[in-house]
Amino acid sequence: VELAEICAKSERFIGTEGGGMDQSISFLAEEGTAKLIEFCPLRATDVKLPSGAVFVIANSCVEMNKAATSHFNIRVMECRLAAKLLAKYKNLQWDKVLRLEEVQAKLGVSLEEMLQITEEVLHPEPYSSEEVCRCLGISLQELQTQILTPNTQD
């Protein structure tokens, strides 16, 4: 567990906002078992699979230089901004929120209720930086320096 956490954290030194799923299963996998991996804190639980279940592992043969592009971080940033917008709308301390899970926990709502809140509050069209700033009551400079990572600022 400690090595998986160290490896996941090390990706952040190159600017990747990864979650650590690959590192965790690499260290915590056991032959003949499937794992449910959860974070904060990292833990892996054996999962019983139905008889005859199989895994198909495929390589897309697509290389990704996580340090050179923003592709890997875009979804992380989109979710982070969504969490902050929802927290602000619900009068929570939005500037401390990083994950949607935190908003759900602070509101004490079920997954279904969280989905309903999300659909009511957020629109499906992309948000501009200016709109995010207006909703959060911050400047573009604050958005870029305090929330976004260097490779997601544009």
Distance CA 75, CA 62 (A): 18
Residue 97: Cβ within 10 Å count: 19
Hunting for tokens 């929570």 — which residue is that?
92
Element (DSSP H or E) covering residue 49: none
pLDDT of residue 19: 72
Tens digits of per-residue pLDDT, 33-47?
Answer: 889 988 878 888 999
- Report if pTM > 0.75: no
pLDDT at 52 over 80: yes
Tens digits of per-residue pLDDT, 15-33?
Answer: 777 778 888 888 888 887 8
Task: List residues with catalytic annotation.
Answer: 22
Tens digits of per-residue pLDDT, 104-119?
Answer: 999 999 999 999 999 9
